């Protein structure tokens, strides 16, 4: 192994963040040990890329690519989104709205999502767009206050009475959630809730926003409810269902309280509710606010700079992507031109691999959304190696076959999306050893 290539550009001899000791790696040929040519630290909101032009990168030696410059986010990534989108502000935990073409940073990093539609046409009760009160089965619900939490309206409801059945419907709002659906589709309903005053009855499993299948006459066929007990901090109740009835023509949601008939009683407890969402997705996405009609959130589009793409277009390179909450069948964590996959999910989101026509699995049997994770890929003309969360690298003599003329995060050019958070992307201008790949393909901060 030759000496470590070092280029200190920070003042006082302190190495810049892109030359921290944990980022040093050895090339597979043993002829070079050095640092990345690009680091996009979304969690730390700091970014750097090689000083070389995109045209010079292809023929540059790894040593020539060790001089990096700190950059603004707009210099390393072009971002667009053709509309607003919500996010949870890490400063105070409240839901806020990012305007068109503005990135969303949450506590877990850069949030990237594909398009989604909220078919619950009134997402939050307001004076001008009220939910339909469906006090039933012994319970009475009444509005006692309204207001705003961050950028989202809420309503506080009092609950009174003793339940006469095991489920009491507070709000069905059929007219504002019913939408066409087919057996085999996956749907998710979600609702934010917070217990403002009183104690939740011990005999109740909580409340839920359900997913219900209806026939062509809008009559109930079947459904799912995932109950959550409200606490003093606002939380999200999520129910997922794959529609199973052959007669299903529609789907709707409703807000239901669970309990024991003749036993579960409420005496003025106040529950805050907002953000009802019904979407054709296997899992809940960020809140899409509606005030009378269905609304579609446009897709995020994050494309890396030409210089960074040029690093990955070299005959040899390595990368580690770190993030969390990743999910989405056939979604691309890092995608290329057209429908190309550099790293992404297989036919479902329990398998991650690399390549497009020649898909090489790096991990399987996963349970999405994935926890805090790291995926690593190294390649050259002799093949490739890949590691998930520090696993022994899987290797293949097959060269990477991805069209890398353009590089995207959380999608490919054509729109195969992997929703989730990106914490950091690090790219080296050489194929690193399997030992180093295993050590670096770990969760951010691990």
Over residues 94-139, the pLDDT tens digits come to 999 999 999 999 999 999 999 999 999 999 999 998 888 778 899 9
Confidence check: pLDDT of 2 > 80: no
Residue 392 lies in a domain: yes
The CATH number for 124's domain is 2.60.120.260
With a CB cutoff of 8 Å and minimum separation 6, the contacts of 315 are 380, 381
Q: Are residues 321 and 292 in the same domain?
A: no
Give the model's pLDDT for residue 1.
39
**Distance (Å, rounded) from C-alpha 229 to C-alpha 211?**
18
State the pLDDT confidence band at 9, using cuts at 50, 70 and 90.
very low
**Distance (Å, rounded) from C-alpha 297 to C-alpha 70?**
32
Structure tokens that stand for 295 in this block: 């609304």
Give the model's pLDDT for residue 135.
80
Q: Are residues 135 and 56 in the same domain?
A: no
Distances (CA, A) of 26 to 40, 333, 435: 20, 25, 9
Give the model's pLDDT for residue 10.
46
Q: Are residues 265 and 381 in the same domain?
A: no
Residue 58 lies in a domain: yes
Residue 93 lies in a domain: no
Residue 184 lies in a domain: yes
Contact 388, 362 (CB under 8 A): yes
Q: Are residues 155 and 269 in the same domain?
A: yes
**Distance (Å, rounded) from C-alpha 118 to C-alpha 123?**
8
Residue range 272-324, pLDDT digits in tens = 999 999 999 999 999 999 999 999 999 999 999 999 999 999 999 999 999 99
Distance of CA 179 to the CA centre of its chain: 25
Q: Are residues 69 and 121 in the same domain?
A: no
Give the model's pLDDT for residue 5.
44
Residue range 392-418, pLDDT digits in tens = 999 999 999 999 999 999 999 999 999
Residue 374 lies in a domain: yes
Residue 419 lies in a domain: yes
Residue range 38-95, pLDDT digits in tens = 999 999 999 999 999 999 999 999 999 999 999 999 999 999 999 999 999 999 999 9
Structure tokens that stand for 339 in this block: 């429908």
Q: Are residues 288 and 169 in the same domain?
A: yes
- Output the average pLDDT for the chain: 94
**Domain end position, chosen among 279, 297, 315:** 297
**Edge-to-edge, what's the strand order for the sheet holding 186-197?**
140-149, 152-162, 265-279, 186-197, 235-242
pTM of the predicted structure, to 2 decimals = 0.94
Give the model's pLDDT for residue 276.
95
**Domain end position, chosen among 297, 314, 346:** 297
Query: What is the arithmetic mean of pLDDT over 367-388?
Result: 97
Residue range 12-45, pLDDT digits in tens = 578 999 999 999 999 999 999 999 999 999 999 9
Where does 42-185 show beta strands of DSSP type E?
A: 46-50, 68-71, 77-80, 85-88, 95-98, 104-106, 109-112, 116-118, 140-149, 152-162, 167-171, 179-180
Domain boundaries, position 171? 116-297
What is the percentage of the chain residues whose pLDDT exceeds 70? Answer: 96
26-30, long-range: CB within 8 Å, 24+ apart, which pairs? 26/1, 26/432, 26/433, 26/435, 26/436, 27/62, 27/316, 27/430, 27/431, 27/432, 27/433, 28/378, 28/380, 28/430, 28/431, 28/432, 28/433, 28/434, 30/1, 30/2
Q: Are residues 247 and 123 in the same domain?
A: yes
| Number of domains the chain is built from | 2
Q: Are residues 30 and 167 in the same domain?
A: no
Confidence check: pLDDT of 261 > 70: yes
**Distance (Å, rounded) from C-alpha 32 to C-alpha 54?**
22
**Distance (Å, rounded) from C-alpha 94 to C-alpha 191?**
15
């Amino acid at each position: 192994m030759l000496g470590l290539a070092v280029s200190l550009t920070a003042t006082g001899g302190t190495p810049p963040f892109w030359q921290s000791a944990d980022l040093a790696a050895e090339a597979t040929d043993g002829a070079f040990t050095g640092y990345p040519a690009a680091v996009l630290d979304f969690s730390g909101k700091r970014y750097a890329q090689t000083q070389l032009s995109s045209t010079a990168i292809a023929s540059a030696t790894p040593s020539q690519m060790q001089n990096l410059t700190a950059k603004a986010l707009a210099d390393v990534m072009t971002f667009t989104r053709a509309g607003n989108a919500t996010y949870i502000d890490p400063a105070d935990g409240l839901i806020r709205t990012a305007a068109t073409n503005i990135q969303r940073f949450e506590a877990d990093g850069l949030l990237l999502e594909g398009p989604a539609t909220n078919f619950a046409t009134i997402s939050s009760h307001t004076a001008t767009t009220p939910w339909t009160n469906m006090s039933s089965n012994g319970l009475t619900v009444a509005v006692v206050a309204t207001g705003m939490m961050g950028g989202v309206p809420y309503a506080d409801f009092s609950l009174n009475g003793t339940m006469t059945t095991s489920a009491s419907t507070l709000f069905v709002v059929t007219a504002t959630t019913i939408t066409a659906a087919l057996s085999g589709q996956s749907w998710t309903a979600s609702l934010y809730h917070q217990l403002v005053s009183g104690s939740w009855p011990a005999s109740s499993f909580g409340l839920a926003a359900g997913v219900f299948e209806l026939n062509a006459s809008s009559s109930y066929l079947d459904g799912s409810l995932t109950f959550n007990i409200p606490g003093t901090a606002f939380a999200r109740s999520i129910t997922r269902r794959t529609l199973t009835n052959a007669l299903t023509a529609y789907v709707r949601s409703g807000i239901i309280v669970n309990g024991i008939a003749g036993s579960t009683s409420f005496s003025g407890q106040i529950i805050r509710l907002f953000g009802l969402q019904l979407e054709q997705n296997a899992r809940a996405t960020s809140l899409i606010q509606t005030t009378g009609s269905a609304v579609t959130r446009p897709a995020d589009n994050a494309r890396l700079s030409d210089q960074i793409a040029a690093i990955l277009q070299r005959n040899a390179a390595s990368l580690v992507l770190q993030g969390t909450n990743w999910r989405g069948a056939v979604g691309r964590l890092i995608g290329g031109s057209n429908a190309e996959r550099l790293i992404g999910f297989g036919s479902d989101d329990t398998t991650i691999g690399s390549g497009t026509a020649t898909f090489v699995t790096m991990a399987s049997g996963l349970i999405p959304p994935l926890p805090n994770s790291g995926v690593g890929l190294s390649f050259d003309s002799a093949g490739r190696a890949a590691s998930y969360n520090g696993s022994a690298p899987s290797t293949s003599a097959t060269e990477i076959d991805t069209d890398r003329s353009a590089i995207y995060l959380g999608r490919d050019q054509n729109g195969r999306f992997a929703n989730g958070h990106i914490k950091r992307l690090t790219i080296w201008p050489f194929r690193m050893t399997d030992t180093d790949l295993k050590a670096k393909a770990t969760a951010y901060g691990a």
